[in-house]
Structure formats: C-alpha cells, structure tokens
Chain A
C-alpha cells in the first residue's frame, strides 16, 4: 500500500479497500455466468438460475448500504481532520 509522503491521510486505507470490495463483488458474481447457469436446486418451484440472481439483488443492496455507511464514516473522519 503506498504511504503518502506528506502529512495527509493515505489515499488507500483498509476501510476504502473494504468499500471497493463491496462494490466489486456484484460484478464478479454476476458476470461469472457459468457459476449459476443451472436449473437445480429449485426454490418454491423457481429454477436456481432465477432465484439466485434475485437473491443477489438483496445481497448487492446490503453491500451498497455497507459501502455507503463506511464511506460516510470515512468522510467524517477526514473532515474531522486530526487523527487519520
């Protein structure tokens, strides 16, 4: 991780890495089509292919909420200044 030479807080921090992962995860899950292109197991009669992707709507929403909360905290900490 590159440390900032000046006194400013570093651009890449663990919190920001988590935010990035939250935002990238849906891409990996959804673009990897072969991981979910199957009919079984079904859920209340709906093939896996469909309910799995709808489940991901909820998962990605949760991930975005986490990213949003972390980002807000990150920004407040930065505006507060002093401690990095």
Chain B
C-alpha cells in the first residue's frame, strides 16, 4: 500500500466492478412483474424467491465485509477472541429455524413488509411500532458503515486510497465513487440488483477462499508453522496495555466475553431489517427451514477466512490499521491479477449487503414512519419514491460513520448496531409466540435497554478513541466482562416482565391484536395467504387506515 498503485490488480478490480454495475442496472428487467412502482416490487423483489435465490440473498447479507475484513482483522489483532464469529453463526440457524417461519406466515397472511408492521398489528401500538422502526434504521447505519470500511481497506491496499497526508477529499474519492455506483443501481433496481449480483459475488468469493486457504498455508509452510509464529507474536507484550497482545485460546477472563458476544450477535442478526427482508422474500415458510440446512456452508467459510488473520501474522504483515491485514496478505501472496480478483470479491461482497441493508432500512422508514405518521394517504408510487430516497439517506448516514469514527476496529461498528437492534427482540420474538407481554411494558423495556446500551457503549474507551471504543463491559452483578448488548437485553426483558405484571394487574388497555393463532402457522397455498402481494397492497393491506 505504500509503494504506489498496483495497476494490474486495480484493472481486474475495475473490470469486475463495471461488470457488476451493468448487471445491477439490467437486474430491473429480471423476473419482472407488471407493476414495478409498488413498494413490494422494489423492496421485496415480488416475494417470489425460491430456496437457492433466498440462500444467495441471505448469504449475501449475513456474510459481508464483516466476514472478509473485520473478523480476520480482529483475529490478527487479538487472536482467539475474534473467533467468536464462528459460534455466533452456528447459533444463528437454530434461531432462524424456530422463529422466522412464524414471522413469514403471519406476514404473508397480513401483508406485513417490516417487523414494525407486525408489531403494530400484533400489539395495536403505533408507539411500539415506531420504536422498532427507528431502532432498525439506526442499527443498520453502522453495519453499512462496516461495509464501506471494507471497500476502503481494499482501495487503500491497491494504492488508490491515498496516504495519510493526502487531502481528505482525494483520499476518500474512490470510496465516494464506489458509494455512488451502489446508490445508483440500488435506486433503480431495488432488491433485484443485489439478488442477481449475489451470484457473481458468491462465485468469486468461493473461488478466492478455496485458493486462499490452500495456497497461502502451503506457501507459509503449513498450519504448524502458521500457529507457531502466531503464538509467538501474541505472547509479545503490547506496549499500550502492558499485557500480551493476544492468545491462541481464550483464558478464563475472556470466556464470558466470548460466549456473550457469540450469543448476543446471534440473537441480534435476524432482528436486522435486512435479514427480515431476505426472509420475507422467500416463496414459502418451508424455504426458510430448508435454508437453515444449507446456510452453514457459509459458516465454514467464515471460520476458514478467520484463520487468514493468523496467516497474516505468520506472513509478517505489519499494518497499523488491522483492517488492511487481509487485503495486504492477498497482495503479498497472490500474483497481481489474482489479487485483483480477490479484491473484487471483497469489494462486491461489501456492496451487495450494503444495498440490501439500505433497502430494508428504507422500507422501514416508508411503511412505519412516513405512512403511519407523516402521510397516511400516500399512494404506492409515493411510497416507492420515498423508499428510494431514504435508501440514499441511510447510506449517507453510514458514510458519516465511516468518515468520522475510528476505523481500526471495524468489528465494533457491527457490535454497536447489535446493541441497539437486540432491544427490539422482546417485542418481535415475544410477539411471535405470545400476546402476554403488555405493549407499554415492551416500550418501557426497550427504552431502558436502549439507554443502558448506548450509555455503556459511550463509556468504553480504547487506546485510539475516548468513546464507543469497544462493545464489552463488566456485567453488573456478575462482575465478568461481557457484551453490552446482551446485558442491555436482559435488563430490557426484566423491565418488560415486571411491568407486564403491573399493567395487567391494573387492567391497562392491551390494544387490538389483528392476528389469530392460526396465522402463525399458515403456509403458501393456505386460504388467505398471499404468495405474491397484489400491487395495490403496497398501501397498507393489513394495517388500520
């Protein structure tokens, strides 16, 4: 990255980038329905995707720059602690298996497009629905920011990111261009663009991973050598903290943190608006369950990619910004042209989820803030227009995170989002199984969880940052270091349960539940279940007027 532009790699990268961009614009014609002005059409791709497309889509947003840049970077920096991402993704599938089919059924029965739609319908509470919507949009921004950081890391290593002393505008120009391309094709093609590009992306990624995990270890003398060198590097004392840099297996002190990060991240993942979008766009509830049996393929990839962090150490990569470790490893190890392919895989692997995430956040805004509060009589055309605009705004918000926050520990972006999104879980998952929780108690629990989580995260300092420097802190009452998101979530549940007892005892109005128990198990083909929503229903099919 210091020795100028890598021309060949850059050329290959640009070639793939252009190819994907063209695909993105053409995607609008793929499996097109009659009415593309409806929000369902733009935002859910018409809800007609089968197992394999859904698999690509879910994989597209579950495995992102987080997987390719942030996790290996965490391993590079601290060793074992960064590997929590593997148990995290293992735990995700049983959760999806249990919860999401019920959400699919009730959503297709009542025409819900977002989690907020469901919460409003279930609890008859616009306030709670608003809380869920705002949280979803807020939590998505740092997650998108993480994707942009991934793209930036690749650009830096190729030598087009500019050095430390270049003007900030020149430095960020390539990133801004990549960002503009992403925004433009998402705007014009909606969910179809990322779904189609996901095929290219996954093909590239599998190729790069296969080559990386076979070729690099052989070049470095096998895993024995790699881990011996890494172990040696981790036992060196870090001058900043006075402790060893990391370890090959977590010590006693790190185990609570490891487990709570894994569990908290797993619970958070499928609460994100974009995971829900991908789920709802599948053809039947069975597709979702079948998917949980093939999605773990991605987890294996994640584990193998994480090991690249060790390989970077063994290869003697020294970077100040840990996010650059893997791209730099690729550049050192691969011939230039294949480094270009690898960079394209990482770059596109960040663009696809960024597009899906911004669409999901935009759907949330349009359905649950714009229509519920600002303009109840909006036409489907107006809804789609607002969604498209908001998908741009969300990306600008993410860009603000990238340009202002410390990027050396990118995994923190995602963990910060997780702290927030976890607080919507009692309302959503609780609501999927029971109507016992009181809507006001859920709202109070959410507020407490959000407040605690934000304040606690704000108070964590790191060597490079005074606030939001990390996502783990001592758990009150237990005394071990754990993920703030999970602590806040437990607090949230406690408040919700206690207040529900109180509110039910004083007979506070519980609100109208427009769903019935049978709605949660309905499948495609059952009476009243919409396989594909008719165009006009983009205007509130199930909600009140």
Interface residues of A (CB under 8 A from B): 22-24, 26-27, 30-34, 37-39, 42, 44-50, 53-54, 56-58, 60-61, 64-65, 67-68, 71
Taking a contact as CB atoms closer than 8 A, the residue among B80, B263, B290, B300 that contacts A57 in the complex is: B300
Residues of B within 8 A of A50 (CB): 83, 303, 307
Verify if B520 is at the interface (C-beta below 8 Å from A): no
Asked if A60 and B90 sit within 8 Å, CB to CB, the answer is yes
Residues of B within 8 A of A49 (CB): 80, 83, 248-250
Asked if B86 and A54 sit within 8 Å, CB to CB, the answer is yes
Q: Apart from A30-B259, A46-B223, what are 7 other A-B pairs with CB-CB below 8 Å?
A: A30-B262, A50-B307, A53-B90, A54-B303, A57-B300, A58-B300, A64-B97
Residues of B within 8 A of A26 (CB): 90-91, 93-94
Verify if B255 is at the interface (C-beta below 8 Å from A): yes
Residues of A within 8 A of B89 (CB): 57
State whether A71 and B303 are in contact (beta carbons under 8 Å apart), knowing that A27-B91, A53-B87 are contacts in the complex. no
Verify if B473 is at the interface (C-beta below 8 Å from A): no
Asked if A60 and B296 sit within 8 Å, CB to CB, the answer is yes
Verify if B329 is at the interface (C-beta below 8 Å from A): no
Question: With A and B bound together, what is the CA distance between A46 and B289 in angstroms?
Answer: 32
CB distance from B318 to the nearest CB of A (A): 23
CB distance from A57 to the nearest CB of B (A): 4
Sorted from nearest, which 10 A-B pairs have the closest CB atoms? Answer: A45-B223, A45-B224, A30-B87, A23-B94, A33-B255, A61-B296, A49-B249, A54-B303, A57-B299, A31-B259
Residues of A within 8 A of B299 (CB): 57
Question: With A and B bound together, what is the CA distance between A47 and B225 in angstroms?
Answer: 12
Asked if A68 and B91 sit within 8 Å, CB to CB, the answer is no
- Please report the number of residue pairs spanning A and B whose Cβ atoms sit closer than 8 angstroms: 104
Taking a contact as CB atoms closer than 8 A, the residue among B93, B222, B249, B304 that contacts A47 in the complex is: B249
Taking a contact as CB atoms closer than 8 A, the residue among B225, B263, B292 that contacts A64 in the complex is: B292
Asked if B289 and A61 sit within 8 Å, CB to CB, the answer is no
Asked if A71 and B289 sit within 8 Å, CB to CB, the answer is yes
Verify if B458 is at the interface (C-beta below 8 Å from A): no
Question: With A and B bound together, what is the CA distance between A61 and B94 in angstroms?
Answer: 9
Asked if B94 and A60 sit within 8 Å, CB to CB, the answer is yes
Asked if B97 and A23 sit within 8 Å, CB to CB, the answer is yes
The interface residues of chain A, by DSSP majority, are classed as: helix
Question: With A and B bound together, what is the CA distance between A27 and B223 in angstroms?
Answer: 28
Asked if B303 and A57 sit within 8 Å, CB to CB, the answer is yes
Asked if B91 and A24 sit within 8 Å, CB to CB, the answer is no
Asked if A64 and B226 sit within 8 Å, CB to CB, the answer is no
Question: With A and B bound together, what is the CA distance between A33 and B255 in angstroms?
Answer: 6
Chain B count of residues within 8 A CB distance of the other chain: 37
Verify if B293 is at the interface (C-beta below 8 Å from A): yes
Q: Mark B503-542, 1 if CB is under 8 A from A, else 0.
A: 0000000000000000000000000000000000000000
Residue of B nearest to A71 (CB): B289
CB distance from B64 to the nearest CB of A (A): 18
Question: With A and B bound together, what is the CA distance between A64 and B252 in angstroms?
Answer: 31
Verify if B464 is at the interface (C-beta below 8 Å from A): no
The interface residues of chain B, by DSSP majority, are classed as: helix
Question: With A and B bound together, what is the CA distance between A55 and B43 in angstroms?
Answer: 37
State whether A68 and B289 are in contact (beta carbons under 8 Å apart), knowing that A45-B227, A54-B303 are contacts in the complex. yes
Verify if B241 is at the interface (C-beta below 8 Å from A): no
Residues of A within 8 A of B468 (CB): none
Query: Can you list 28 contacts pairing A with B, beta carbon distance less than 8 Å?
Result: A23-B97, A24-B94, A27-B263, A30-B259, A31-B263, A32-B259, A33-B255, A33-B258, A33-B259, A34-B252, A34-B255, A37-B249, A37-B255, A42-B224, A44-B223, A45-B226, A46-B223, A47-B227, A48-B249, A49-B250, A50-B83, A53-B90, A54-B303, A56-B90, A57-B303, A60-B93, A64-B97, A67-B97
Which of A22, A50, A65: most chain B CB closer than 10 A?
A50
Which of A56, A60, A68: most chain B CB closer than 10 A?
A60
Question: With A and B bound together, what is the CA distance between A56 and B90 in angstroms?
Answer: 8
Residues of A within 8 A of B263 (CB): 27, 31
Residues of A within 8 A of B289 (CB): 68, 71
Asked if A64 and B94 sit within 8 Å, CB to CB, the answer is yes
Asked if A38 and B249 sit within 8 Å, CB to CB, the answer is yes
Question: With A and B bound together, what is the CA distance between A42 and B227 in angstroms?
Answer: 10
Verify if B404 is at the interface (C-beta below 8 Å from A): no
Q: Mark B229-266, 1 if CB is under 8 A from A, else 0.
A: 00000000000000000001111100100110011000
Asked if A57 and B90 sit within 8 Å, CB to CB, the answer is yes
Verify if B98 is at the interface (C-beta below 8 Å from A): yes
Residues of B within 8 A of A56 (CB): 87, 90
CB distance from A24 to the nearest CB of B (A): 7
Taking a contact as CB atoms closer than 8 A, the residue among A33, A37, A68 that contacts B97 in the complex is: A68
Asked if A54 and B300 sit within 8 Å, CB to CB, the answer is yes
Residues of A within 8 A of B224 (CB): 42, 45
Residues of A within 8 A of B94 (CB): 22-24, 26-27, 60, 64, 67
Question: With A and B bound together, what is the CA distance between A31 and B486 in angstroms?
Answer: 13
Residue of B nearest to A49 (CB): B249
Asked if B248 and A47 sit within 8 Å, CB to CB, the answer is yes
CB distance from A41 to the nearest CB of B (A): 12
* B248-304, CB < 8 A from A: 248-252, 255, 258-259, 262-263, 289-290, 292-293, 296, 299-300, 303-304
CB distance from A6 to the nearest CB of B (A): 15
Asked if A68 and B290 sit within 8 Å, CB to CB, the answer is yes
Question: With A and B bound together, what is the CA distance between A16 and B344 in angstroms?
Answer: 45
Residues of A within 8 A of B248 (CB): 39, 47, 49
CB distance from A51 to the nearest CB of B (A): 9
Taking a contact as CB atoms closer than 8 A, the residue among B98, B225, B227, B304 that contacts A23 in the complex is: B98
Residues of B within 8 A of A24 (CB): 94
Q: Mark B193-222, 1 if CB is under 8 A from A, else 0.
A: 000000000000000000000000000001
